[in-house]
Amino acid sequence: MTATDTTMKIVVLDDFQDLVRHLDAFALLRERLPQADIVVHREWADCDDELVARLAGADIAVLIRERTRLTREVIERLPRLRVIVQTGRVARDSTAHIDIAACTERRIAIIEGESDGVSAAELTWALVLAARRRLPQYLRYMDQGSWQYSGLEDPTFPRGFGMGVSLDGATLGIWGYGRIGRILGRYGAAFGMKILVWGSERSRAAALADGFQSAPSREALFEQSDVLSVNLRQSDSTLAAVTYEDLSRMKPTGLFVNTSRAGVVAPGALVRALAQGRPGMAALDVYDTEPLPGDDPLRHLENCLCSPHLGYVEKNSYEILFGSAFRNLVTHLAAGERTAAGAP
C-alpha cells in the first residue's frame, strides 16, 4: 500500500464534535492523498459488530486518543486493515487500548502523533478554579432562581464549605512532574500557591531545579496539599497507584483532581473517600467507563465536579495531534512498506 494507491480507504472513528473534517491537518491529508476514500464517523460504536461494520474494507483506521478499543477479536475481523493511526501515544503494556500483539502478528503498523500538554493543563486549571470557587454549584442554583447559594450544606461538610476559597497562599500538590505537571506548577505559582511535588527521583529533582519544593514523602503530599493533581501516565506500574488510604489523608477542605487516567486511582477509592469527607471535593475529567454511565455514583455526588474527558478536546490540540499523526502516516505510505507494529 502506497500513497498513490487509488483504492485506499481511511476511516476516522468517534469524531464526536465533527471537527476533524474542518482541521488544517485534514486538508493536508486530502492534499497528499487525493484519491483516498476518507470516511468520518461521529457516533460511538455500541458493540464490536458495529465497530467492525464501520471499519469494513478499511486499509487505515484513525483513532482519536483512547476513545476506541481495538481488541484482537476486532482486528481479526478486519482483513484489509494495514495501518492504525493513533492521535497521541499508545501504551506498550496491558493497559493499551490496541492489542499490540495482534497488530504485530498481522504486521499492522501503528502510526502515532504528538501532543503538547497545554490543552490538558488548561482544562485541569479550569476545573481547579471552578471547584475551589464552587462555580458549578452556584450556577446551577442561579438557574433555579437562587442568588449566591451553592447548596453545599450537608452536615458532613466542614463549616463554610459551600463558600468558595481562593488559591492564593494555598498548597498545590503535584504527583507526576512531566510535561503537564510542569505547566501546572507554573500556573499555581502565578496564582500565588506553594508548589509541592512528588514522583520519581528525576521528577523531584526537576521540580527543585524549577524552584519548587519536593514533598518529603508521598504521605506528606496528600496531608499537606489543599489542591492535589495527579498527572501520571497509566501503565502496569501506575494502575491503582492512588489508594483510599492516600485520599483519606487529605484535608476535609482539600480538592483532589484527576485529568490523567482513571486507572491510576484504585477502583471505588475516590467515591468511598468523598463519602467519608476526605478529601472534601474532587474534580475529574477521566473515568473507568466512558461515556460515564448515568447511574455512576460520581455523577450524583454534590462534592464531585465531572467533565466529559475534555482535556485534549480543543482545536489547537487537535491540529497538533492530527497534524503530527497524518504527517507520519504520509511519510510511512511514501516509503511504500509496512513497518512493524508500533514503528512510525
What one-letter code names the amino acid at 244?
A: Y
Query: Is 32 part of a structural domain of the chain?
Result: yes
Domain of 296 in residue numbering reads as 118-306
What gap in Å lies between CA 264 and CA 130, rounded to an integer? 23
Considering the candidates 106, 309, 327, 332, report the single residue annotated as catalytic: 309
What DSSP designation does 242 have? Answer: B
pLDDT at 6 over 90: no
Residues 219 and 251 grouped into a single domain: yes
Q: Does 339 have pLDDT greater than 50?
A: no
On whether residue 67 sits in a domain, the answer given is yes
Examine the residue annotation and report whether 290 is marked as an active-site residue of this protein: yes
Which residues, in sequence order, are CB contacts of 142 under 8 Å at separation 6+?
149
Angle in degrees, CA 165, 169, 172, rounded to 5: 85
For residue 220, the model assigns a pLDDT of 99
What confidence tens digit (pLDDT) does each residue in 193-204 have? 999 999 999 999
Looking at 73, 105, 153, 290, which residue is catalytic?
290
3-state secondary structure of 327: helix
Share of the chain above pLDDT 70, in %: 96
Whose CA is closest to 258, among 289, 229, 287, 300? Answer: 229
Statement to judge: residues 96 and 163 lie in one domain: no
How many H-runs (helices) and E-runs (strands) does the chain carry? 12, 12
Contacts of residue 65, Cβ cutoff 8 Å, sequence gap at least 6 = 87, 88, 312, 321
Residue 249 lies in a domain: yes
Same structural domain for residues 109 and 198? no
Contacts of 67 (CB under 8 A, 6+ apart): 13, 14, 44, 290
Pairing of strands 37-40, 255-258: unpaired
Asked if the structure places residue 339 within a domain, the reply is no
Whether 149 maps to a domain, the answer reads yes
Residue with C-alpha cell 478529601?
A: 279
Can you give the length of the chain in residues? 344
Grid cell at residue 79: 482483513
- Of 182, 222, 188, 171, nearest in space to 204 by CA: 182
Hey, is 339 helix, strand or coil?
coil
Q: Does 153 share its domain with 240?
A: yes
Over the chain, what is the mean pLDDT? 95
Residues 202 and 72 in one domain: no
Looking at residue 96, what is its pLDDT?
Answer: 86
Q: Output the domain CATH number for residue 292.
A: 3.40.50.720
Q: Do 234 and 207 touch, CB atoms closer than 8 A?
A: no
Catalytic residue from among 261, 278, 327, 332: 261
99 and 159 belong to one structural domain: no
Q: Active site includes 202?
A: no
Is the model's pLDDT at 2 over the cut of 90?
Answer: no
Task: Please indicate, yes or no, whether residues 199 and 218 belong to a single structural domain of this protein.
Answer: yes
What percent of the chain clears pLDDT 90, i.e. is strictly above it?
Answer: 91
Asked if 192 and 92 sit in the same domain, the reply is no
Domain count, the chain: 2
Residues 300 and 324 reside in one and the same domain = no
Q: What pLDDT is attached to residue 3?
A: 53
C-alpha cell at 119: 490543552
Residue 175 in this model has a pLDDT that exceeds 60: yes
Q: Does 110 lie in the same domain as 24?
A: yes
The C-alpha cell of 271 is what? 467515591
